[in-house]
């Protein structure tokens, strides 16, 4: 960068203008590049949206990118693909599991986090280390005995194996997230309550929990997204058709004897299935990106 | 931050001898005891979980890995036989290891490069940063779902969008997901497609770097590449490290997309038979639960060794400002 030796205001102003123009040009180029990349990345999704909205026989035809004959028939046919059983059942199942998982994570993880973040107790650091270790454990090393156990007590094909563990704070990542958050709250807040004779429960419930709202909201949103998208454990535990959730039901499209004949129905149902996640994301967008940024969430 | 009032006082103002003279000891320890009790009450659900849902099943799984358990009959102790079969005679197992290593080895670096490059591009004071960030993040939200797996299968299918686009340029397409050579790259591409989550983390780290560093470098005549190489890169090595560990752990366990794209088979010719997928087939399709438990423990060891290795290398390339 050349520095102006003379203090001619004219020259300075023109130099500044030049620099600003160069910057503007660079930015324009960058915008073009980013938009092109986004276009490529999102093209399959947009193609799917248009495919879902056009008649079946036109999906793989030479009919142009944007449909000429708009239709919603794929949505109605896809929704009722399996006889009496419609996606209504699958969505109800998915949403019940998600709602209970959120509730479980919020209660159990925040309780554990309160102890780790704000109380002193014996073996604290050992237990904390154990908790951090479980974040990294692959589920595979617990899965088989868990499955055998749940099978033996008759919980397979119920929502219990998917929901009960959440009430026992098995998603340790959220404990960690809340611990980080609760630690940053000033200790004076609780001291005032101690003077007023508040119990530990009251300090947790009335003081700390309300202030932890951002972390709780992040937990709720991510629990929803993870549970809703979860395929592995739902595939294992839910095999009866009327216990199935959305991802497990969508899998039936893979079955050659099943819905593979209808691409329109497939695309329509895929589209509907990603709707709730996108909806949740848009509704809580600012919060989420902040949460990921500070806690490094995948 | 976690310590309460008494400890705070201990560590800061009062000199040590005087504190001992104050007969606070008994009430202090009573307080400590009630705090201890309260803490364990708060921890009860988690303790039940870590023992009942995590710990005991892990031990049971370790035990099962030394048995021939197949659900129908009680387990028989077979010693190291499962492990011997895995590494001695099971060709699908060995091939699933290679498939997984290829998958991890391609997708982790590619995700890192993409996410860092886009984050750096976005961090140059562009307008509409929030919109870009959200749009790039969208694939991460939906990329792990069965729905997107199904979409991917069609997009890379014989009649899919990819071939259509290749056709515009006069190139011959193929059934990508049906080819033993290209099926795995298709799944890698799907993983790379979800680079947004790492990007958001990089972006947050980049914004922490003080603008004055770059200004100083500019005055010294550093060009854009030098500024990136000498300022940005060293300062975000902790975040690169963090993202690497996260991506490693996640991609070692990838399951859904290989399952969906291959229809659950891991085909064609086992080219997409990721480790998790093979474990699933063994445990829940062939019901060889003892054998699958041995696989689970091998996976745990592999992830442990992989992560430990990255931790070990970190002292050579991760730069912490306070050292």
Domains (range + CATH), chain A: 94-295 (1.10.3720.10)
> Using the beta-carbon criterion (under 8 Å), do A144 and B64 form an inter-chain contact?
yes
Residues of B in contact with A19 (CB under 8 A): none
- For residue A190, give the chain B residue with the closest CA: B4
> What is the distance between the alpha carbons of residues B319 and B323, in angstroms, rounded to a whole number?
8
A295 or B297: which leads in pLDDT: B297
Residue B27 has pLDDT above 70, yes or no: no
Q: What is the pLDDT along chain A (298 residues), one digit of tens a residue?
A: 445 455 677 888 888 888 888 888 888 999 999 999 999 999 889 989 988 898 877 777 666 778 888 888 888 888 886 677 889 999 999 999 999 999 999 999 999 999 999 999 999 999 999 999 998 899 999 999 999 999 999 999 999 999 999 999 999 999 999 999 999 888 888 888 888 888 999 999 999 999 998 899 989 999 999 999 999 999 999 999 889 999 999 988 877 654 445 788 888 999 999 999 988 888 887 666 665 555 444 3
pLDDT of residue B322: 55
> Using the beta-carbon criterion (under 8 Å), do A119 and B42 form an inter-chain contact?
yes
pLDDT of residue B264: 87
> What is the distance between the alpha carbons of residues B268 and B47, in angstroms, rounded to a whole number?
44
Burial-class residue B35 by CB neighbours within 10 Å (0-12, 13-18, 19+): middle
pLDDT of residue A298: 36
Residue B42 has pLDDT above 90, yes or no: yes
B92 or B165: which leads in pLDDT: B92
Residue B144 C-alpha, separation from nearest chain A C-alpha, in angstroms: 7
Mapping DSSP to helix (H, G, I), strand (E, B) and coil, where does residue B320 land?
A: coil
Q: Token digits for B198?
A: 């790492």
Give start-end residues of each CATH 1.10.3720.10 domain in chain B.
81-317
Residues of B in contact with A108 (CB under 8 A): 45-46, 49
Contact (CB, 8 A) for A141 and B300: yes
A83 or B186: which leads in pLDDT: B186
pLDDT of residue B16: 43
pLDDT of residue B277: 96
> Using the beta-carbon criterion (under 8 Å), do B141 and A108 form an inter-chain contact?
no
Of A232, A266, A289, nearest to B134 by CB-CB distance is A289
Contact (CB, 8 A) for A287 and B239: no
Of A60, A115, A281, nearest to B43 by CB-CB distance is A115
Interface test mutation site (partner A, options B65, B142, B220, max chain A beta carbons within 10 A): B142
Contact (CB, 8 A) for B264 and A254: yes
- Give every CB contact of residue B187 below 8 A, 6+ residues apart in sequence: B103, B152, B254, B257, B258, B261, B272
Pick the most confident of A248-257, B6-15, B23-32, B202-211. Answer: B202-211
B267 pLDDT band (50/70/90 cuts)? confident
A:158-217 residues touching chain B, CB 8 A cutoff:
165, 167-170, 175, 183-184, 187, 190-191, 200-201, 204
pTM of the model: 0.87
Q: Token digits for A202?
A: 């009251």
> What is the distance between the alpha carbons of residues A185 and B1, in angstroms, rounded to a whole number?
8
Percent of all residues in chain B with a pLDDT value above 90, rounded to a whole number: 61
> What is the distance between the alpha carbons of residues A19 and B144, in angstroms, rounded to a whole number?
44
Residues of A in contact with B266 (CB under 8 A): none
Of A30, A47, A277, nearest to B161 by CB-CB distance is A47
Residues of A in contact with B263 (CB under 8 A): 254
The partner residues of B242 in beta bridges, in order of sequence, read none
Interface test mutation site (partner A, options B151, B167, B258, max chain A beta carbons within 10 A): B151
> Using the beta-carbon criterion (under 8 Å), do B54 and A142 form an inter-chain contact?
yes
Residues of B in contact with A109 (CB under 8 A): 46
CA-CA-CA-CA dihedral for A293, A297, B3, B9, to nearest 10:
-20
Torsions phi, psi of A96, nearest 5? -60, -45
Torsions phi, psi of B127, nearest 5? -75, 150
Torsions phi, psi of B38, nearest 5? -60, -45
Mean of pLDDT over chain B: 87
A·B CB contacts under 8 A: 275
Interface test mutation site (partner A, options B51, B146, B264, B310, max chain A beta carbons within 10 A): B146
- For residue B195, give the chain A residue with the closest CA: A298
Name the packing angle between helices A110-118 and B25-48 (round to 10°): 150
Of A27, A204, A289, nearest to B126 by CB-CB distance is A27
Residue B212 C-alpha, separation from nearest chain A C-alpha, in angstroms: 16
Domain B81-317, CATH 1.10.3720.10 — does that match? yes
pLDDT of residue B140: 92
B188 pLDDT band (50/70/90 cuts)? very high
Contact (CB, 8 A) for A142 and B59: no
> What is the distance between the alpha carbons of residues A34 and B136, in angstroms, rounded to a whole number?
10
pLDDT of residue A291: 56
> What is the rounded average pLDDT of the residues B302-307?
90
> Using the beta-carbon criterion (under 8 Å), do A134 and B50 form an inter-chain contact?
yes
Torsions phi, psi of A296, nearest 5? 65, 60
- For residue A131, give the chain B residue with the closest CA: B50
Residues of B in contact with A269 (CB under 8 A): 147
pLDDT of residue A160: 96
Residues of B in contact with A112 (CB under 8 A): 42-43, 45-46
């Amino acid at each position: 960068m050349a520095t102006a030796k003379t203090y001619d205001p004219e020259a300075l102003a023109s130099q500044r203008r030049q620099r600003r123009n160069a910057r503007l040009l660079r930015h324009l180029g960058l915008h073009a590049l980013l938009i092109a990349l986004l276009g490529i990345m999102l093209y399959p999704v947009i193609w799917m949206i248009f495919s879902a909205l056009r008649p079946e026989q036109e999906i793989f035809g030479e009919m142009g990118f944007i449909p000429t004959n708009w239709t919603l028939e794929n949505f109605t046919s896809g929704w009722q693909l399996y006889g009496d059983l419609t996606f209504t059942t699958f969505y109800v199942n998915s949403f019940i599991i998600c709602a209970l998982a959120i509730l479980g994570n919020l209660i159990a993880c925040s309780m554990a986090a309160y102890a780790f973040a704000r109380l002193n107790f014996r073996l604290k650091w050992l237990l904390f280390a154990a908790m951090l270790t479980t974040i990294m454990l692959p589920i595979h090393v617990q899965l088989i005995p868990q499955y055998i156990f749940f099978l033996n007590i008759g919980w397979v094909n119920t929502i219990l194996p998917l929901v009960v563990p959440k009430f026992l704070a098995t998603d340790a990542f959220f404990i960690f997230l809340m611990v980080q958050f609760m630690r940053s709250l000033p200790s004076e807040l609780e001291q005032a309550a101690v003077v007023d004779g508040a119990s530990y429960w009251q300090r947790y419930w009335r003081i700390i929990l309300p202030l932890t709202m951002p972390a709780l909201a992040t937990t709720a949103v991510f629990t929803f997204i993870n549970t809703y998208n979860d395929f592995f454990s739902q595939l294992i535990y839910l095999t009866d058709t009327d216990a199935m959730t959305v991802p497990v039901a969508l899998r039936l499209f893979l079955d050659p004897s099943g819905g593979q004949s209808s691409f329109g129905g497939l695309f329509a149902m895929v589209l509907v299935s990603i709707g709730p996640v996108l909806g949740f994301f848009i509704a809580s967008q600012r919060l989420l990106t902040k949460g990921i940024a500070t806690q490094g969430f995948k | 931050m976690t310590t309460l009032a008494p400890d705070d006082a201990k560590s800061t103002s009062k000199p040590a001898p005087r504190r001992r003279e104050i007969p606070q000891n008994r009430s202090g320890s009573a307080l400590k005891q009630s705090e201890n009790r309260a803490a364990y009450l708060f921890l009860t659900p988690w303790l039940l979980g870590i023992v009942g849902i995590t710990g005991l099943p892990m031990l049971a799984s370790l035990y099962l890995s030394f048995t021939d358990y197949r659900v129908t009959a009680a387990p028989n102790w077979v010693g190291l036989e499962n492990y011997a079969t895995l590494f001695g005679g099971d060709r699908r197992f060995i091939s699933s290891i290679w498939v997984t290593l290829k998958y991890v080895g391609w997708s982790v670096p590619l995700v890192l490069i993409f996410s860092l490059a886009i984050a750096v591009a976005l961090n140059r004071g562009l307008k509409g940063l929030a919109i870009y960030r959200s749009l790039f993040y969208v694939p991460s939200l939906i990329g792990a779902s069965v729905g997107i797996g199904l979409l991917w299968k069609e997009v890379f299918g014989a009649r899919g969008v990819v071939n259509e686009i290749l056709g515009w340029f006069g190139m011959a397409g193929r059934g990508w997901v049906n080819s033993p050579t290209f099926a795995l790259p298709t799944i890698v591409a799907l993983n790379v497609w979800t680079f947004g989550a790492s990007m958001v983390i990089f972006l947050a780290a980049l914004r922490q770097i003080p603008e004055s560093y770059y200004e100083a470098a500019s005055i010294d005549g550093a060009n854009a590449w030098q500024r990136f190489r000498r300022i940005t890169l060293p300062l975000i090595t902790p975040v690169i490290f963090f993202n690497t560990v996260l991506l490693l752990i996640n991609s070692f366990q990838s399951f859904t997309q290989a399952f969906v794209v291959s229809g659950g088979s891991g085909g064609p010719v086992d080219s997409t038979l990721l480790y998790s997928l093979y474990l699933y087939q063994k445990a829940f399709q062939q019901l060889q639960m003892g054998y699958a438990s041995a696989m689970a423990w091998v996976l745990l060891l592999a992830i442990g060794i992989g992560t430990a290795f990255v931790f070990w290398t970190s002292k050579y390339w991760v730069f912490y400002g306070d050292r």
